[in-house]
Structure 1
Amino acid sequence: MFKGLSLFLLLISCTVQAESWPGEQWPVGPKPSGTALDALEAYAFPPRDDNTRQGIRTDALLVIRDGQILYERYAGPTRVDTPHLTWSISKSLMATVLGVAYGEGLFKLDDPAVKFYPALEKHPTITMADLLHWASGLDWQEDYEYAPLKSSVVAMLYTRGHRDMAAFTADHDRYAAPGQAFRYSSGDSNLLAATLKTIVGPSRYPDYPWTALFEPLGIHNAVWESDAKGTFVASSYAYLRARDLARIGLLMARDGRWGERQLLPRDWVAFNLQPFAGYKAHQDEAVPGGQWWLNRPADGAPSPWPDAPPDTFAALGHWGQALYVIPSEKLVIVRYGDDRDGGYRHNELLKRVLGAVRP
């Protein structure tokens, strides 16, 4: 009996030891080579014209398999130690921070958001889950520099809403009942940041992303801007090095576990990666989960990234920022960019990465 138990414990020990986790530095694995790598680099790093800002302009590409760096390259002004603006990847970061608070038992998904942010008193039926699904029902226009006059997000970030972004969002009227329809909204994400202030308390709030998430993962160089009310701009303004953002990806790839610590509850990760039931599919558009994007068929449409496995999910940001996670391939991919013309394609990069790293 004792001999069998010893063998069982030895097998467990070998399994744990085989799993790579980054310390202060990431372990390095075998670098891919050959024509498939050449094809990846030809797509990701074409000749760069900084005068026109046209074409695919990759600032960083980092590929990690099973906790080890396989490939890493930087371009433009970005270097290995550069905290890069993540734009809307910040939304997925806020969802991850909220997951730690959820694990502390500080709120539930079906809690009314007004419980934590009284400025939502005009909209008392919006739940935390609704905000996480971008399904608040608030009438929001997520248009950018190509349509600034009617853009809610431009007004929130740069003009009349920039001092108190959550209050600006809460003052919007409704176009649909909460929880019924998806409408991508940076405002919903900033409302989540405002609820967090009450959820964890004002004394913990300014340091909470660091103490709850970044420091346990070994992230020491993150920057997250706040508005004039001291609320994190969860929609847009987190800055991380590529290697640090990859730590978030590895955490999610391993169901919220970091080493021996279950930092995020498994049911929180499952919620993040469950397609929103009210989503109506659009061609080539990833499917929304809980402030993450999923490579899942929805509403009769095919998967948006057909050359990637169906379990692929991502955090995505303006001008080509991306954190891709492919659990079935044990892959985490960080891609930072400065793409201004809309030519970059997620599926094309994923196809070429997979071609380069697969045996």
Structure 2
Amino acid sequence: MKTIVDDVLTMSKLDSGLFVMTPVDVPLQSIARDAVKMFEGEAKAAGVALEYHAEASCSNTSINYVSLDPTRVLQILINLITNAIKFTRLEETRHISVRLGLSTEPPLQGLDERVKFHRTPGAEVSHTLQTDWDKGKVAYMIFSVHDTGRGSGLGLFISRRLTELHGGAISFASKAKVGSTFSFYVKCRKASLPSPQDETATDLSVRAQSTVLANRSRDDTDKPPAIGRKLSENKEGNAHVKVLIVEDNLVNQRVLAKQLRNIGMNVAVANHGVEALDYVRKTTYCIPDEGSATQELSLILMDWEMPVMDGLTCVREIRKLQSQGIVRGHIPVIAVTANVRSEQVTEALEAGMDDVISKPFRIPELCACMHKTILSVNVKWGSKDDMK
């Protein structure tokens, strides 16, 4: 249901002209690779082989960076790969191939020659992208998603509108017992090495889309993520996991604390951001006073809206203390909220959250999110605590 609501809101923005396309300089292959990486876990759980391949055309030119709207292109790939997994998971042969090609001329066909491109006459093109194209040489990125399933699914009309706004087109070809191939191309500009600001913007947009995808996918299946099942069943192995729940609703706070304790985790609670900061100062993340007791902390589950100090303000303060050296290391913090649209997720990530999970959630889903977040923080910032 949430997926349908998101699609309706997107269509409303498209129809009202409120959909803003923002060109950013990104590595040529980054979007396709990120899209495949986002779906690796879901594909594996469904028994689907998912692979990525870059055509020779990507390396036969001097183009290493392109200027386009990475969030919107990623959204198209999310729609196509979501549908591909949905219609392939029940087939005898389960295989999805994502391919990327590059052309200096508007393509007439996809990477699969059966797919023919036809742009809609008079299709609207984003003014911001047109302005960007005027700044240098243009190129055309061609994406292909082939699967062994049968069906099309939702989101394809939105994908068509997004490709058209990007100066491109989308089409498909299908054959019984062979599968379906969806291809699209987008117009982009040859770019140079991106600025630090562009890299930050791109990273946030991809992480936001990834989080929205993870929360939306829970509407499509009742099967808990494999990594979450493994963690929640390993009660003895969870004894070293120390979680701080920051939640002003006492009923929600107590229920969640009990559920996590039932699977072997150590849990502390705080009613708002100020109490959370006081707790952090007493942990091994901070330099202790002589003779003072210190407590371990693996991760914080931070509610968004709270009195006294809300979750976003609190995590900003934590990251400020981290930059000042008062907090040693990077504390993993997951935002807990009912607002999981891309804009809200981006706001949370910019504030300093490491991930976002939507309410309501199931414990296996929460465990999967916690496990992924701690592993990601350990890789990026160095290990403070492991979740095995």
What's the TM-score, normalizing by structure 1?
0.25
Tell me which structure has the larger Cα radius of gyration.
Answer: 2
Structure with bigger strand share is 2
More helix by share: 2
The structure, 1 or 2, with the larger RCO (C-alpha pairs under 8 Å, 6+ apart) is 1
- TM-score norm. by structure 2 comes to 0.24
